[in-house]
Chains A and B, each alone.
Chain A
């Protein structure tokens, strides 16, 4: 089990303490005694990946942080405050979540519209963001498949989250439905955006090489009743590129994470 130790000289941007999650009046226990702290690193950000088998509650953790779900017991704080209307965090889902009745521009600027930002200002910002995610020229298209490809739709979702709150982004297997080539280019796009905005990214995936390629820190959850049981400090320099995946250190890390995943799978 990992002990998240509080340090007086550091702030946590995300704090989950003593989380319990059960269903059916306690008969089904999903998460038990779980802590999860993510340190705030201003001007730097960090990339945290949650790994674990299906059904271990990885997505549930993201849903807590987003305020979409409350744990049966325990506290969830974002930016030092309990999750609420004033500290909402953007989330990118595996399913295409763009609103198909809106254009790309309307989708990306939606968060600002909800905040009451003037139309001209929000559209200017949205167009910038659309360009940053590589969708220039597509802003007038309806955000739906097959007008846009799967990868383009996820770019819309990322842009929409970033524009509202670039500080924290939650990503629940966002590239899970994409083909390999698109997936790889999306990973690079995500890293470049992360470096630009210094965001704190919490990323859920099943793909170990993807986890190692993207992460600062990898946390592994055991099967239900679940909690975080292993930590891997990736400790590889950025800028990471396609060549990074050929490096010895990268291959070793993938092996190490695989081994830990297998060890964790044996735990009850």
Chain B
């Protein structure tokens, strides 16, 4: 492939060039990461990992520094001015930390997380939470989306309202959900489901609008009832498109799970990130991020596989098995 064609608008890459570029991209990002990790660092105050509160003569006023993350951040300027001994009395220590952990540190932190942080069970807690979120989001979106998309009365009443729902800042509504549902699984699943369905409902309606008239006219002339039209045209048409939308939108859920799992200490991969942050273990936080990305890619593959199995007509198979 000649050099100029690499810059041709919407030009195609041949397979070999694409693979070389993809590998090169990974090397470039890792290199930049490594460079920043090695040369850019800063002081930070962090908790002492094995600090024994009971053995210290610590006042309640000081204890709050240890216990309360936000206070630590609010008072950070003053804390940074304290000497090492005063910090130690508060269960804190001053460390020089790199802004980025090196890729090697990230990899090394994984076995430690297996040992100390119950990585596997926390991953499964998050996956379970997400699955429950997906399930409710998809079921509710299909019911609401089909109802609004198909029935003019409901469309007139609610379409604009649901469309406006996309602008709700989801991170900000956690407080409301906590107020309604507490801080346990019920709230987290509701939050995750809500995070997906505000986007998914308008997409379902849009997909219903996209059903081509010729299919509707054809089934009408064959004498179909409205229910038969839904079953034989709307549903298969919309679902075959929607699986791609679901695949893209459920990725959002991994963004929100970190918020949901911050709220109480009932485990999950999001909680691991927050703990890592409190201990200034950016290497661990990065490791968790990488794990989330890997899970995300696997999840994507599963959706693509499902798409292939459930909607064979979308792929190139010429004969139904």
Residues of A within 8 A of B (CB): 66-68, 85, 88-91, 93, 95-97, 99-103, 110-111, 114-115, 140-142, 144, 147, 157, 160-161, 164, 170
Contact = CB atoms under 8 A, between A and B. Distances in A.
A89 B228 CA distance: 17
A114 B222 contact: yes
Interface of B: 212, 214-215, 217-225, 228, 232-233, 236-237, 240, 311-313, 317-320
Nearest to A170: B221
Contacts of B317: 142
Contacts of A85: 223, 225
B223 A115 contact: yes
Nearest to B223: A88
Contacts of B318: 141-142, 147
Given A101-B240, A140-B320, A142-B320, A110 B313 contact: no
Given A101-B236, A110-B232, A140-B320, A164 B222 contact: yes
A103 to B, nearest CB: 5
A103 B312 CA distance: 11
Given A141-B318, A144-B313, A67 B220 contact: yes
Contacts of A91: 217-218, 221
B220 A90 contact: no
9 contacts: A66-B220, A68-B217, A85-B223, A91-B217, A91-B218, A95-B212, A100-B313, A114-B232, A141-B318
Contacts of A102: 313
B320 A103 contact: yes
A114 B223 contact: yes
Nearest to A147: B318
B42 to A, nearest CB: 57
Given A67-B220, A91-B218, A111-B222, A140 B228 contact: no
A97 B319 contact: no
A110 B214 contact: no
A93 B218 contact: yes
B237 A101 contact: yes
A67 B237 CA distance: 23
B214 A95 contact: yes
A160 B221 CA distance: 11
